[in-house]
Structure 1
Amino acid sequence: MTTLARAAAPTAPVPTDAADLTLRRGAARVLLDNWRGGSTIPSRGLYPHQWSWDSAFIAIGLRHLSPRRAQRELETLTAAQWGDGRIPHIVFNPAVPLDAYFPSPDFWRSSTAGAPAGAPAPIETSGIVQPPVHALAAWLVHTADPETSRARGFLTRLRPRLAAWHDYLTGPRDLGGGGLAAVLHPWEPGMDNSPAWDGPLARVEPVPSGTYRRADLDHGHSAERPTDLDYGRYVRLAADYRDGGYQDAGEHGFAVEDPGFNALLIASEHALARITEATGGDPDPHEERAARLTAALVARLYSAEHGLFLCRDLVGGRLIEERSATGLVPLVVPGLPDDITASLLATARGDSFRLGDLPLAPSYDLRGDAFDASRYWRGPAWFNINWLLERGLRTHGLPADADRLRESMLHAAGASDFAEYVDPRTGEPRGTRSFGWTAALTLDLLAARATAPAPLPAQRATDPDPHASRTQERNPA
């Protein structure tokens, strides 16, 4: 089958209105059940705390049910921001027993070990970060109900927090000196055990398995989770970072520039420009920084030979030749050179990812030696990555392709009971069920049925997102 034929291949049929209503109610019920008073947990067993980029994606969906609750989601998360600007990847709920999740608060010791970096004393968090989707989420949440947002001062309060977050990533985290943010742990780019990390992780001596207990295996099949060897290396890296006072300067066992992480920083920098403009500030510095980041992304991470963006190992000093979905996420970046956009689209539709042919795009090259359709980020399809690809298709003027991907995502979400991830070839559920961002992004895609969603912020336009709900807070069920 040709690439063109793949792009036109039919996906799941468009659900009827009744099916849409059932799907919406199911997604809303997940978010209601996972709500904990100030934030939404990703799942009730496996992930019992607040996660950073989960909350951003969840807020994007919550805005269609309750804009006020969506605002609170982001307010709760950013209230745990450190003095150096970082937004931690976990905010711990003190009511949850320590043995419910590992690494737990007593491992991270943020309020003491993180004190030199400005960790908040009254809130326990992790010490690492996750992809910066937050400004994009804040802008989309604002557009859902601008009047209430302005009345509550939502953007006015969040703007300095988001600006400090971006300053941290473009300042202390520019470890390669080329203008991009670096990640210091495989959990930071979000694709925890991607094959792209196998090479850099091979340098890391794992801690002995008997020195900690993996709580994740209480809620998930071992065949769908990272291996013990990988987990031992994750613990080693986190412990070393903690014992160094969470300082970014100096040597690190793992330091990588990730294209997906930086693409989301660019998209959020454009959103921060809109937020700054809406609160009476000058958006130009943020637009200029987005342009610099885009130039650095292309210069440092794009590979014409591979047809997508690659990760750069800063310790080893080379590009990592693993074709991961993170290399397609830059489709969300407006203003990419036309030839690079065309190359990304060809790669996405080609034999490695088969976008438009399979139910959902995989997280890793289907033809790669390390591909595994069931094991976490080593092949399964994730709803947040496919949502980003859907937005990217719209950003680059391909609404019909985006519509087909949207319908396939909605079908997969309903058929899998809002699974954490799915087999990209069959859509069979993997991981935990009733997963927060799967449900939330289902709501966002359903809301987009009536009118096309707003493009990712790139132009000076403060009009509300045309498909956002203006519904006031209510029981989302």
Structure 2
Amino acid sequence: MTKLLDAARTSFDGEELRRGASRVLLDNWTGASSVPSHTLYPHQWSWDSAFIAIGLRHLSVRRAQLELETLLGAQWADGRIPHIVFNPAVPLGAYFPSPDFWRSSTAGAAAGAPAAPETSGIVQPPVHALAAWLVHEADPQESLRRGFLARMYPKLAAWHRYLTAQRNLGGSGLVTTVHPWEPGMDNSPCWDGPLARISPAAPDTFRRADLDHGAAADRPTDLDYGRYVRLAADYRDSGYADEPGRHAFAVEDPCVNALLIASEHSLARIATAVGADPAVHEERARRLTATLVLRLWHPAYGMFLCRDLVEGDLITERSVSGLIPLIVPGLPDEVTSALRTTLDGPHFRAAETGLVASYAFTGPSFDRTRYWRGPAWFNTAWLIERGLRGYGADKRADQLHSAFLASSGASGFAEYVDPVTGEGHGTRDFAWTAALALDLLARQTRAGSR
């Protein structure tokens, strides 16, 4: 048994944890949105803001609404929500790729990029409708008074149409990601094969600002980064066009598609609340769920796998992405049973460690400290905890819940942690770690009051 599990089984000071998490969110608030980290990530990130809003609603529903409103205020006319919204007050050298690399207002003009603010041109996982619904539920009267859902619904519906139409590059109905940054798991070993096809940008054509604030041993390699830059530059130079067959990196990712399905269910609830027809979202969720199982489920692996559309094959690497579909309602019993077995089995050892590694311990590229190649992340744990509860596994979810809270506080709200010891890595005072800790604490308090 790990020290982390020992700590999770003892009482920790929930009020102290709540104060610490609240401090992080207050410190990371910029006036209209939040930064994930003032040092490493000094702008607004797409799926970060969704997770941040989920926790921020427990401090200020108004700020949680504004978090999402600010993000969707940078939405492109084609419906895409860019993965970064840049703060013009931040110096260009503070983060790379910076606005002058993406050139969204010019290179993205044909795709409907706004004249301002400047953004990136790629996207991140679509957890936004789920976040909007949870923010609404925190104070339905305030939400109604401000017309929050009525303003969010058309924007979120356009976002989902973009993903299911223009990003249906494989023709299956599933969303295709065209850059390793889009699934949010930047340097996952799942991308090693597809990335091997990419000629990296020359090292002297860019400068990695991330190494100013993060240890090189914890971050993606220079070779990987050069390939990321090449793919982003090629997409930019195409005018951010989404066309089948033109992308050197094209992957169907189970996490991205599972979050789209979960958000379609939330969008159906939002549609009902604003007087729109929920049927299109309910039907899309059903269709996507069936396709997810058909296209990405691998019974011998006991989990979902990514599919490389360029080669046409499943990528036989075990990533936490393949466990996230637990958040999807209505999966076949044999699929949910196998996912729970894989979660706690020798590949991920979650029952033993208390955490969920981002990549299988048994994988050939496992690394306990390097970004998405092994370390445990708090957003993926939050999603799996929620998925377990959705399938009635409350006792198992409680164990993950406790380990999450113990590790988040002990690590100083780290960006990610060692999957065995819980030692923090990456930046500290990371906003979504604090936000999701607040959410779990709030749910724990409500459960205790019943």
TM-score range, shorter chain: over 0.9
1:366 positional shift = 0.5
Per-residue CA shift, 1:432-475, capped at 9, x if unaligned? 0000000000000100113359xxxxxxxxxxxx99xxxxxxxx
For 2:15, the aligned partner's letter is: L
Query: In structure 2, how many angstroms separate the alpha carbons of the residues matched to 1:77 and 1:361?
Result: 29
Equivalent of residue 131 in structure 2, options 137, 142, 151:
137
- Aligned position for 1:426: 421
Q: Identity, % of aligned pairs? A: 68
Alignment partner of 1:370 is 2:373: no
- Aligned position for 2:326: 331
Query: In structure 1, how many angstroms separate the alpha carbons of the residues matched to 2:338 and 2:50?
Result: 29
Per-residue CA shift, 1:16-55, capped at 9, x if unaligned? 5xx1111101001001111001000000100000000000
- Aligned position for 2:202: 208
1:129 positional shift = 0.1
Q: Of Structure 1 and Structure 2, which has the larger fraction of its residues in helix?
A: 2
- Aligned position for 2:29: 35
- Aligned position for 2:339: 344
For residues 250-261 of structure 1, the aligned pairs below 5 Å read 250=244, 251-261=246-256
Alignment partner of 1:15 is 2:11: yes
Alignment partner of 1:282 is 2:277: yes
Q: Residue 358 of structure 1 contacts residue 424 of structure 1 at CA under 8 Å; is this kept in 2?
A: yes
Query: In structure 2, how many angstroms separate the alpha carbons of the residues matched to 1:201 and 1:352?
Result: 24
- Aligned position for 1:49: 43
SS at match of 1:319: strand
Query: In structure 2, how many angstroms separate the alpha carbons of the residues matched to 1:15 and 1:256?
Result: 43
Equivalent of residue 222 in structure 2, options 228, 232, 239:
228
For 1:337, the aligned partner's letter is: P
Q: Which has the higher contact order (CA 8 A, sep 6+)?
A: 1
- TM-score, normalised with respect to structure 2: 0.98
C-alpha RMSD of the superposition: 1.4
Alignment partner of 1:315 is 2:314: no
For 2:308, the aligned partner's letter is: D
Query: In structure 2, how many angstroms separate the alpha carbons of the residues matched to 1:44 and 1:294?
Result: 38
1:13 positional shift = 2.4
For residues 233-248 of structure 1, the aligned pairs below 5 Å read 233-248=227-242
- TM-score, normalised with respect to structure 1: 0.92
Alignment partner of 1:412 is 2:407: yes
Q: Residue 258 of structure 1 contacts residue 311 of structure 1 at CA under 8 Å; is this kept in 2?
A: yes
Equivalent of residue 350 in structure 2, options 340, 355, 365:
355
Q: Residue 354 of structure 2 contacts residue 399 of structure 2 at CA under 8 Å; is this kept in 1?
A: no
Query: In structure 1, how many angstroms separate the alpha carbons of the residues matched to 2:162 and 2:11?
Result: 44
SS at match of 1:171: helix
Query: In structure 2, how many angstroms separate the alpha carbons of the residues matched to 1:386 and 1:11?
Result: 17
Q: Residue 268 of structure 2 contacts residue 281 of structure 2 at CA under 8 Å; is this kept in 1?
A: yes
Query: In structure 2, how many angstroms separate the alpha carbons of the residues matched to 1:135 and 1:452?
Result: 25
Query: In structure 1, how many angstroms separate the alpha carbons of the residues matched to 2:15 and 2:106?
Result: 48
Q: Residue 417 of structure 1 contacts residue 433 of structure 1 at CA under 8 Å; is this kept in 2?
A: yes
Q: Residue 363 of structure 1 contacts residue 377 of structure 1 at CA under 8 Å; is this kept in 2?
A: yes
Query: In structure 2, how many angstroms separate the alpha carbons of the residues matched to 1:142 and 1:419?
Result: 28
Per-residue CA shift, 1:57-114, capped at 9, x if unaligned? 0000000000000000000000000000000000000000000000000000000000
Q: Residue 10 of structure 1 contacts residue 404 of structure 1 at CA under 8 Å; is this kept in 2?
A: no
Query: In structure 2, how many angstroms separate the alpha carbons of the residues matched to 1:355 and 1:252?
Result: 36
Q: Residue 131 of structure 1 contacts residue 261 of structure 1 at CA under 8 Å; is this kept in 2?
A: yes
Per-residue CA shift, 1:399-440, capped at 9, x if unaligned? 111111111000001100000000001000010000000000
Equivalent of residue 83 in structure 1, options 77, 83, 95:
77
Equivalent of residue 162 in structure 1, options 146, 156, 159:
156
For 1:81, the aligned partner's letter is: Q
Query: In structure 2, how many angstroms separate the alpha carbons of the residues matched to 1:210 and 1:394?
Result: 49
Alignment partner of 1:125 is 2:122: no
For 2:259, the aligned partner's letter is: L
Q: Residue 111 of structure 1 contacts residue 120 of structure 1 at CA under 8 Å; is this kept in 2?
A: yes
Q: Residue 418 of structure 1 contacts residue 435 of structure 1 at CA under 8 Å; is this kept in 2?
A: yes
Equivalent of residue 295 in structure 2, options 300, 303, 319:
300
Alignment partner of 1:391 is 2:393: no
Query: In structure 1, how many angstroms separate the alpha carbons of the residues matched to 2:248 and 2:167?
Result: 15
Q: Residue 307 of structure 2 contacts residue 313 of structure 2 at CA under 8 Å; is this kept in 1?
A: yes
For 2:149, the aligned partner's letter is: L
1:359 positional shift = 2.8
Q: Residue 14 of structure 1 contacts residue 407 of structure 1 at CA under 8 Å; is this kept in 2?
A: no
SS at match of 2:314: strand
Query: In structure 1, how many angstroms separate the alpha carbons of the residues matched to 2:7 and 2:374?
Result: 20
- Aligned position for 1:460: none
Query: In structure 1, how many angstroms separate the alpha carbons of the residues matched to 2:351 and 2:324?
Result: 16
Displacement over 3 Å in runs of 4+: none
Alignment partner of 1:380 is 2:375: yes
For 1:233, the aligned partner's letter is: R
Query: In structure 2, how many angstroms separate the alpha carbons of the residues matched to 1:322 and 1:13?
Result: 32
- Aligned position for 1:475: none
For 2:60, the aligned partner's letter is: S
SS at match of 1:451: helix
1:131 positional shift = 0.2
Alignment partner of 1:65 is 2:90: no
SS at match of 2:445: coil
Q: Residue 359 of structure 1 contacts residue 412 of structure 1 at CA under 8 Å; is this kept in 2?
A: no
Query: In structure 2, how many angstroms separate the alpha carbons of the residues matched to 1:11 and 1:26?
Result: 18
Q: Residue 130 of structure 2 contacts residue 267 of structure 2 at CA under 8 Å; is this kept in 1?
A: yes
How many residues are treated as equivalent by the alignment? 447
Query: In structure 1, how many angstroms separate the alpha carbons of the residues matched to 2:24 and 2:272?
Result: 35
